[in-house]
């Protein structure tokens, strides 16, 4: 018996080593294509957001991406090496538009080629202000290139992007996942302007296939199903920004006026953080409701252990760390987010000998963190484990009622 246990342990370690080697190679490749910076404001801004526009060519009136600082004086940015300038400004009236009386700064990233820390001082200076960006809304300037991302491709849940092997690929080889065209906002039917989209967002090592039972129950005469597929090994911050870019693109192209978002597990954290970004300038006003199911709002203890003991740290673990900045900031600006939130949690571990308070994967204390409860408009618990909750008929009934209420 002892020998059998030793063999099993050794095989699991070898399998783990293989995955960590893949992850290490992927992260090195990503690091060669991107650069990470920490922006710190010399004087914190308390009453308004600070908008950061990412620009390839300062002589063109185009913005290639954006971010924001809300109630903080610093932000971590990971950007493509193709981005050469940052236009940073205090958005006093929360309209995502630089005005002449707003303090700003233009950063030439070529000056920080071998540095990671950027100290920023915002000042009002009409003589130096980049005129091509003044009084131009961010929406009119955004020109996000999404070469590796599908938007609006009509697919089936049986198609390759949603296969289990691709879920694992997205966790351990996120760059390969991207390069093999598995990332996108997919439609499960042809777009219909008369139907309300429901966007499903999966968790770590998963795809929208986990939602198949729930999706099957949706009234297709009223709703259309969309799915966000992403490499779950990347940081939650990065995937949140990716979701924001996709939502902005699809909402603009199809003139979306209503939408529901349903997220499971880690996907709930991505959606919650995405809604924080959307609150700057109210870019996601078309979202009627957000539903999170079995989401670890208080973090995941095993992610902390992974950071401490693993030979290679998966970026997602950093954001799932219960003591990390991502978890701490998730509800930091609660008052700016007004989208109705339905918090669903499971409390059946699925194991007769497991007496801990969890759903077999996520602790109840994490699913029901105080800040998450204070933010939620509706909270419901189900006698299900982490995956079986997605098959629960009562959850679907509660979801349907919540959708209807928020539409009215």
Tell me which residue of 257, 255, 261 sits closest to 273, measured CA to CA: 261
What are the two backbone dihedrals, phi and then psi, of residue 74, each rounded to the nearest 5 degrees?
A: -150, 160
**Considering the domain 149-407 in this protein, what is its CATH number?**
3.40.50.1820
Residue 148 — pLDDT band, cuts 50, 70, 90?
A: low
Q: What is the pLDDT of residue 16?
A: 60
The label of the residue with tokens 């920023």 reads 120
* CATH 3.40.50.1820 domain extents, the chain: 149-407
Whether residue 185 is predicted with pLDDT greater than 60 in this model: the reply is yes
Q: Counting Cβ atoms within 10 Å, is residue 262 exposed (0-12), middle (13-18) or buried (19+)?
A: buried
Q: What is the pLDDT of residue 147?
A: 56
- Give the mean pLDDT of 123-151: 81
Nearest to 195 by CA among 227, 214, 219: 219
The pLDDT value recorded for residue 352 is: 62
Does position 13 have pLDDT exceeding 70, yes or no? Answer: no
Q: Is the pLDDT assigned to residue 362 strictly greater than 80?
A: yes
Domain span(s) for CATH 2.60.40.1120 in the chain: 34-141
State the architecture of 34-141 in CATH terms: Sandwich (2.60)
**What is the Cα–Cα distance from 4 to 9, expressed in whole angstroms?**
9
Stated pTM of the model = 0.84
């Amino acid at each position: 018996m002892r020998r059998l246990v030793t063999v099993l342990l050794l095989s699991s370690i070898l399998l783990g080593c293989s995955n960590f080697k893949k992850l290490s190679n992927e992260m090195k490749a990503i690091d060669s294509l991107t650069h990470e910076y920490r922006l710190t404001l010399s004087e914190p801004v308390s009453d308004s957001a600070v908008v950061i526009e990412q620009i390839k060519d300062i002589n063109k009136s185009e913005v290639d991406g954006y971010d924001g600082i809300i109630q903080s004086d610093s932000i971590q940015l990971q950007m493509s090496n193709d981005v050469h300038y940052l236009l940073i400004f205090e958005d006093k009236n929360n309209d995502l538009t630089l005005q002449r009386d707003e303090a700003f700064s233009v950063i030439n990233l070529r000056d920080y080629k071998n540095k990671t820390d950027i100290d920023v001082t915002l000042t009002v200076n009409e003589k130096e202000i980049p005129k091509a960006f003044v009084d131009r809304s961010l929406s009119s300037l955004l020109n996000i290139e999404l070469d590796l991302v599908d938007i609006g491709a009509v697919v089936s849940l049986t198609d390759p992007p949603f296969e289990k092997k691709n879920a694992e690929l997205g966790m351990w080889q996120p760059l390969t996942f991207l390069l093999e065209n598995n990332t996108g906002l997919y439609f499960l039917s042809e777009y219909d302007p008369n139907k309300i989209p429901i966007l499903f967002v999966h968790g770590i090592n998963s795809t929208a296939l986990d939602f198949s039972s729930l999706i099957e129950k949706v009234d297709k005469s009223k709703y259309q199903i969309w799915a966000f597929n992403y490499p779950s090994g990347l940081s939650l911050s990065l995937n949140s920004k990716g979701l924001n870019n996709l939502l902005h693109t699809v909402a603009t192209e199809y003139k979306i006026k209503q939408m529901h978002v349903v997220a499971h597990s880690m996907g709930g954290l991505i959606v919650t953080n995405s809604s924080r970004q959307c609150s700057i300038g109210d870019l996601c006003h078309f979202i009627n409701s957000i539903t999170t199911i079995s989401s670890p709002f208080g973090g995941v203890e095993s992610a902390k252990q992974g950071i401490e003991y693993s030979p290679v740290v998966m970026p997602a673990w950093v954001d799932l760390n219960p003591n990390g900045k991502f978890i701490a900031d998730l509800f930091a600006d609660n008052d700016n987010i007004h989208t109705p939130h339905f918090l669903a949690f499971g409390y059946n571990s699925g194991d007769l000998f497991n007496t801990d308070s969890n759903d077999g994967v996520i602790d109840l204390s994490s699913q029901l963190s105080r800040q998450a409860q204070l933010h939620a408009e509706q909270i419901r618990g189900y006698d299900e484990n982490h995956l079986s909750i997605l098959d629960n008929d009562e959850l679907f009934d509660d979801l349907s009622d919540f959708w209807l209420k928020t539409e009215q």
